[in-house]
Amino acid sequence: MRQFKRCTLVMGVSSFLLACAATQSPTTVLNNNTPQNQSALATQTLHAPNKLIAKQSLTLEQIMADPDWIGNEPESAYWSDDSQQIIYKRKQQGSSLSDVWLKSLSNSGNGQIVALSEQQNVAYRNRVLSIDKQRSAWVFEGNIFYKNLVSGNIKQLTQDSNQPYNLRFLLDGKLSFQVDDRIMVLDPSNGFSEQRVSWQFAEEPKALEAPKDYIAEQQQRLIQVVAKKRADKAQHFEQQQLLQAQNSTLTSQPFYLPKDHETVAASLSPNGKWLLLVEQVNNKERDDNDIMPNYINENGRIETDDVRQRVADGKPVEQTLWLFNLADHTSHKLPYTALQGYNDDVLAAVKHENAVAKGETYQENRLPRIIGLIDDWRWSQSAIQWNTQGNKVAIMVAAVDNKDRWLTTVDVHDKKLVTQHRLHDDAWVNYQFNSFGWLNNSDSLYYLSEQTGYGHLYLKSYTGKAKALTQGKFEVDSLTLSADDQYMYFQANKKHPGIYEIYRVNVASGDIEALTDLNGMSDYILSPDEKSLLLTHSKLTMPPELYVKELNKSAAVQLTHTVSEAFLAINWLAPDIVPIKSSHTEQPIYSRVYARPMVEGEEKRRAVVFSHGAGYLQNSHLGWSGYFREFMFHNLLVQQGYVVLDMDYRASAGYGRDWRTAIYRHMGKPEIEDLRDGVNWLVANTDVDVNRIGTYGGSYGGFMTFMALFTAPDLFQAGAALRPVSDWAHYNYGYTSNILNTPDVDPIAYERSSPIYFAEGLEKHLLINAPMVDNNVFFVDTVRLVQRLIELEKPNFETAIFPVESHGFVQPSSWLDEYRRIYKLFETNL
């Protein structure tokens, strides 16, 4: 019987414990002397300090109860203006409501709840700053508030129902904001507001309409009263045009754009002289038949909920860029023909392969591609960024086929797109690592790019070449530029793929400095005075808490203590983070392993393999998991003698571009290959019986359960698929078209990636848990697959439905019922 080799060294309360790998690796301790690269740690098995099984008998009832019992963590934290306090939200016990908390750095405790009557004074998480950093403004409940940061005085500037957004300070100290299809400018010093620019999707008014036909022409020519009315109308129109041109007190005329179009985005330059507008044809995101029945409602009747389109029905449209000169009221269209590769037939090989499969031929074409603003799912910034002076604007656009991203600029005097950087990916351009902007004090651009295979930071002068500020087999994100352009702060998994620390790079020299050494998951916000970091930090067995780290001190100080005594009283088993050797790539498959020490002479053990959802998500990190119920469930399984494996299979986040895109055009193949490597590792290293292994997962993990049981029936004895995808043609456009293109272009990819085409392979026991009001993965995915299994006369599957739940369960009773069924499946069949 093979034994785990264990090495553990205690370093104190805030240190993480690292121990040797299963066979030969030496002990490595994470501390301030640890090299800030992955070479020293990436091949190690990381052991948590607590390798004891919880003495308390865990129950499903406790694990699946309302998570309030764990404690309600701080959320959406940010700094006060003076850098001496923090503001955060925290859910109320026993309620879906949240409170706003204010916490002083100098006082103990979690702070005080901000009264509802005072929340407008601290609700500036998304504030904007004036160019001199002495004034700030924000929107609270649809109204604009303004603060003098020198005096501390706050005043309310609006109280109406306009719902302003796109708030920004102009160079002259005034505030601009958008309301519908117009940009307003407000002077905080006197309250005067003006409409700086507006636009309408309509034909431009004319003095007179030309006769529509012979009858109208004859009427206007023969009947004098009609002719006079037309002449009077023309005179009035001309008079109004002259008044508009000669009287500066009037609101400027709108810009007119094609009918049946709509606004995508608009951005006013800091000098208030230019508007960058993006528009498109009215694009219906759903059809009338995109509905979902909802059976449990307060009126006792069946209702229908509107839902999204399927990828098979999506019809993307091109977006058009316009530059408006507000001084002379001229508009300039910015064509994409200036972009390198704008008409490349990037899917030619895919189309050829599908044509051959149909007995047809495909002729390559050079038609312009559909292009528009990039949609990054993980940023809060705009895809339009003006430089400080307002004479240049950077715009990030992407092709709808997902194969190209362009960082472009426009000089307002040249009025044309100039490509600053093109990122091409034969699979798909990531919807992360797209942050960009201008330096504060020069016309240099910074941006993130996966061009080397990992998301890294680059700096490029306006007319010069780009240089890398970071490089290596790690990923950089969450950028913050210092006011003087000296430093760029960022988050990265530099020393291990599952450890995220905070760093800064000197923009001039490229020197990188590690600012934290907490060894878990850390997010940050730089303080307004740029002297401290507000950290949200978690560990494997500890939910997120807030910390402060002064840049001139080595240690971070914990600010909040929100985890409950009931949770802390349980001696939770932390999983090891194990780099499992892959049979298909040079990179290992990083995995969480939950296991108690083996006992000599005991029978071989049962095991469960959990697959996380989303595909592009990282779960084998050293922080608190969003799958916290599963973490507790896995602890319960270990108490029952199971070993649990949780793998970051290929497609997962955190491991670079090649790992992410391994599933391109064939979802469900690389991932199941990785699960097989995981099963083999369990059998070889943890004394698991190869014939007593089950699997489960939700969403993408449910899809993987299907693919494992249908295409690799020898791998698992039983599996549970929760809220699972069975046919990718029924999933959404934005996610699916990245990975599989679209069904009309690439049916091969869809049919070899969708479980419903492989249902005949089911041999083992399958449990399907399906929420009925799921607006993400539709219930019909389960309905269609169940009908397919019935028609195939498969006897060994069961389906449980959850009438009131959407994709993310809410009711504790639903969670409990779901996991009771999963536990019963494993207890019965393993």
What percent of the chain stands above pLDDT 70?
94
Residue 19: pLDDT band with limits 50, 70, 90 = very low
**pLDDT score at 707:** 98
* Secondary structure in 3-state letters for 142-174: CEEEEEECCCCCEEECCCCCCCCEEEEECCCCC
Work out the burial of residue 377: count CB atoms within 10 Å of its CB; fewer than 13 is exposed, 13-18 middle, 19 or more buried.
exposed
Instruction: Taking each helix axis as running N to C, give the angle between helix 628-639 and helix 812-829, from 0 to 180 degrees, rounded to the nearest 10.
Output: 40
What are the Cα distances from residue 813, in Å, to 375, 562, 804, 809, 820?
37, 25, 11, 10, 10
Strand ranges of the sheet holding 193-201, from the earlier edge strand across to the other edge: 165-169, 175-179, 182-186, 193-201, 255-257
Count other C-beta atoms under 10 Å from residue 550's C-beta: 14
The beta-carbon contacts of 418-425 under 8 Å, at least 24 apart in sequence, are: 418/338, 419/338, 419/339, 419/340, 420/394, 420/445, 420/460, 420/462, 421/447, 421/449, 421/458, 421/460, 421/466, 422/339, 422/340, 422/341, 423/449, 423/450, 423/451, 424/341, 425/450, 425/657, 425/661
The 3-state DSSP class for residue 542 equals strand
Helices in 55-197 by DSSP H: which ranges? 60-63
Q: What is the mean pLDDT of residues 752-781?
A: 98
Count other C-beta atoms under 10 Å from residue 752's C-beta: 16
What is the tens place of the pLDDT at every residue in 782-798? 999 999 999 999 999 99
What is the tens place of the pLDDT at every residue in 157-215? 999 999 999 999 999 999 999 999 999 999 999 999 999 999 999 999 988 889 999 99
* Helix (H) and strand (E) counts in the chain: 13, 44
CB 549 within 8 A of CB 557: yes
Residues 6+ away with beta carbon under 8 Å from 222: none
Residue 346: pLDDT band with limits 50, 70, 90 = very high
Q: How far apart are CA 338 and CA 319, in angstroms?
A: 15
What is the tens place of the pLDDT at every residue in 301-331? 999 999 999 999 999 999 999 999 999 999 9
Cα dihedral sign, 575-578-584-586: positive
Q: How far apart are CA 696 and CA 702, in angstroms?
A: 7
Question: Concatenated DSSP letters for 528-540?
Answer: TTSSEEEEEEEET
Strands (E), 219-272: 255-257, 261-268
Work out the burial of residue 194: count CB atoms within 10 Å of its CB; fewer than 13 is exposed, 13-18 middle, 19 or more buried.
middle
* Secondary structure in 3-state letters for 215-226: HHHHHHHHCHHH
Q: How far apart are CA 233 and CA 118, in angstroms?
A: 55
What is the tens place of the pLDDT at every residue in 90-145? 999 999 999 999 999 999 999 999 999 999 999 999 999 999 999 999 999 999 99
Q: What is the pTM of this model?
A: 0.93
What are the Cα distances from residue 95, in Å, to 66, 69, 92?
10, 12, 5
Residue 55: pLDDT band with limits 50, 70, 90 = low
Q: How far apart are CA 452 and CA 579, in angstroms?
A: 23
Count other C-beta atoms under 10 Å from residue 701's C-beta: 30
Buried b (16+ CB within 10 A) or exposed e, 469-478: bbebbbbbbb
Average predicted confidence (pLDDT) for the chain? 93
Q: How far apart are CA 293 and CA 623, in angstroms?
A: 38
Nearest residue to 646 (alpha-carbon basis) of 713, 573, 585: 573
Partners of 645 in the beta sheet?
Answer: 593, 609
**pLDDT score at 529:** 97
What is the tens place of the pLDDT at every residue in 544-580? 999 999 999 889 999 999 999 999 999 999 999 999 9
Question: Concatenated DSSP letters for 269-329?
Answer: -TTSSEEEEEEEE---SS-TT-EEEE---TTSS-EEEE-PPPGGG-----EEEEEEETTTT
Buried b (16+ CB within 10 A) or exposed e, 139-153: beeebbbbbebeeee
Residue with tokens 């999963």: 822
What is the tens place of the pLDDT at every residue in 625-653? 999 999 999 999 999 999 999 999 999 99
Which helix (H) or strand (E) covers residue 595, if one does?
none
What is the tens place of the pLDDT at every residue in 581-632? 999 999 999 999 999 998 888 899 999 999 999 999 999 999 999 999 999 9
**pLDDT score at 792:** 98
